[in-house]
Amino acid sequence: MSDRPDIGDSIPDIALESPDGSALRIADFKGKPLVLFFYPKDDTPGCTTENKDFTELKGEFDAAGIALLGVSKDPPAKHGKFIAKHGLAAPLASDPVENGLADALGIWVEKSMYGRTYMGMERTTYLVDAEGRIARIWRKVKVKGHAAEVLEAARAL
């Protein structure tokens, strides 16, 4: 899939929805680096761990002037419950079910489990520079230690 945006490309400015239902755009973060982490589903073991890890380091991201945003296709109300249940501090956004940001980035992909194929989010993190260009991409993320690795890379921007 060579048509996926890559390092040096601008991140597409496709509207997302915050848990309170308001629109959120990638352009809203221009002027500061942004860590955009995409995960498959709220309240599943790996996704909960990943969100908690980013929450734990949020103060360090803030101190370094780096914005955080977690994205999945879960609806805003589900994000609200997920945030409340686990005390998450990293902001979350909902990606449109069709033609969303994950689709534009090529990370809404066909997956298969137990012989069943379905569409799902490929766990991917993007480090976006202050001008809105992709500085680094982590594909098929392994959760353990990921948030700390991203923080280190973001500080080096």
Half-sphere exposure of 64 (CA within 13 A, CB side): 21
Q: Which of 16, 47, 68, 151 is catalytic?
A: 47
CA distance 69 to 54: 9
47 is catalytic: yes
Question: Which conformational region is residue 114 in: left (phi greater than 0), alpha (psi within -120 to 50 degrees), or beta?
Answer: left
Torsion angle of the four alpha carbons 52, 123, 71, 3, in this order, in degrees rounded to the nearest 10: 160
| CA-wise closest residue to 148 among 80, 82, 49, 40 | 49
CA distance 96 to 72: 9
Query: Which positions are catalytic?
Result: 47
